[in-house]
Amino acid sequence: MVIKKIDPEKVRLFKAEAVRRGFLLNQALEEAITLWLNASHSVVGTEF
């Protein structure tokens, strides 16, 4: 996957936080996506 036009500083901080929490980058990204999707769907009750 290639993601363009993303703030490099945010990516650096995200990677550092993933390491601090003991996650591989793919694990941290998957968790972030899941949390974001669950937050946006909490009104209708859908959970991923």
The pLDDT tens digits for 23-42 are: 999 999 999 999 999 987 76
- Burial of residue 20 (CB within 10 Å: 0-12, 13-18, 19+) is exposed
- Burial of residue 15 (CB within 10 Å: 0-12, 13-18, 19+) is middle
CB 30 within 8 A of CB 39: no
pTM score, whole prediction: 0.73
**Banded pLDDT at 1 (limits 50, 70, 90):** confident
What amino acid is encoded at 26 in this protein?
N
Across the chain, which distance is largest between two alpha carbons, in Å?
Answer: 34
Polymer length of the chain:
48
CB 28 within 8 A of CB 21: yes
